Amino acid sequence: MNRILLSLTIFLFLSCKNKKEEASTNLDKTVTSTLKYATGFTVKKESTGITIIKITAPWPNATKGFSYALVPEEKMAALTLNKDSYDAIITTPVKKIIVTSTTHIPVLEALGVETSLVGFPNTNYISSMATRKRIANKQVKELGNNESLNTEIALELQPNVVIGFGIDNQNKAYKTLEDANIPVAYNGDWAEQTPLGKAEWIKFFAPFFHKETKADSIFNSIEKEYHKVKELAAKANTKHTVLSGAMFKDVWYLPGGKSWAAQYLNDANTNYLWKDDKETGSLSLSWENVLNIAQNADYWLSPSQYTTYEQMKESSPHYTQFKAFKNKNIYTFANTKGPTGGLLFYELAPSRPDIVLRDLISIFHPEVLPNYKPYFYKPLE
Q: Does the structure show a pLDDT above 80 at 88?
A: yes
pLDDT at 268 over 60: yes
Q: Which domains does the chain have, with CATH numbers?
A: 2-220 (3.40.50.1980), 235-379 (3.40.50.1980)
Confidence check: pLDDT of 5 > 60: no
Quote the pLDDT of residue 2.
40
Whether the predicted pLDDT of 9 surpasses 50: no
CA–centroid distance for 349 within its chain: 9
The whole-number pLDDT of residue 93 equals 97
Please state the rounded mean pLDDT for residues 118-127.
Answer: 96
pLDDT at residue 16 greater than cutoff 80: no
pLDDT in tens, 132-176: 999 999 999 999 988 789 999 999 999 999 999 888 878 899 999
How far apart, in Å, are the Cα atoms of 68 and each of 3, 42, 184? Answer: 16, 11, 9
pLDDT exceeds 60 at position 11: no
30 pLDDT tier (thresholds 50, 70, 90): low
Q: Looking at residue 61, what is its pLDDT?
A: 85
The whole-number average pLDDT for the span 92-102 is 97
Q: What percent of the chain has pLDDT over 70?
A: 91
Question: How confident is residue 10, by pLDDT bands cut at 50, 70 and 90?
Answer: very low
| Residue-level pLDDT at 181 | 95
- CA 172 from chain centre, in angstroms, equals 23
Please state, as a whole number, how many other Cβ atoms lie within 10 Å of the Cβ of residue 15. 10
Local confidence band at 259 (pLDDT 50, 70, 90 cut-offs): very high
At residue 147, the pLDDT reads 78
Which of the residue ranges 12-21, 51-60, 325-334 has the most confident prediction, judged by mean pLDDT? 325-334
> Which carries the bigger pLDDT value, residue 146 or residue 94?
94
Q: pTM for the complete prediction?
A: 0.89
Measure the CA–CA gap between 310 and 313, rounded to whole angstroms. Answer: 5
Helices assigned H by DSSP within the chain: 2-15, 20-26, 73-76, 104-111, 129-136, 151-157, 172-179, 195-199, 202-209, 212-234, 260-267, 287-294, 309-315, 323-326, 344-348, 353-364
Reported as a pLDDT band with limits 50, 70 and 90, residue 80 is confident
Average pLDDT over residues 205-234: 97
Please, are residues 8 and 29 in contact by the beta-carbon 8 Å criterion? Answer: no
> What is residue 294's predicted lDDT score, i.e. its pLDDT?
98
CA-closest candidate to residue 101, choices 376, 347, 355 = 347
The stretch 64-71 carries a mean pLDDT of 95
Average pLDDT of the segment spanning 80-92: 89
pLDDT at residue 248 tops 70: yes
Compute the average pLDDT of residues 6-29.
38
- Residue 33: what pLDDT? 64
pLDDT interval class at 7 (50, 70, 90): very low
Task: Write the pLDDT tens digit of every residue in 304-361.
Answer: 999 999 999 999 999 999 999 999 999 999 999 999 999 999 999 999 999 999 999 9
Q: What is the pLDDT of residue 319?
A: 97
DSSP 180-226: TT--EEE--GGG-SSHHHHHTTHHHHHHHHT-HHHHHHHHHHHHHHH
Q: What is the pLDDT of residue 323?
A: 98
- Is residue 261 predicted with pLDDT exceeding 60? yes
Q: What is the mean pLDDT of the chain?
A: 90
- Average of pLDDT values for 74-89? 85
**pLDDT, position 284:** 96
- The answer, yes or no, to whether residue 3 has pLDDT greater than 60, is no
Sign for the pseudo-dihedral over CA of 114, 115, 120, 126: positive
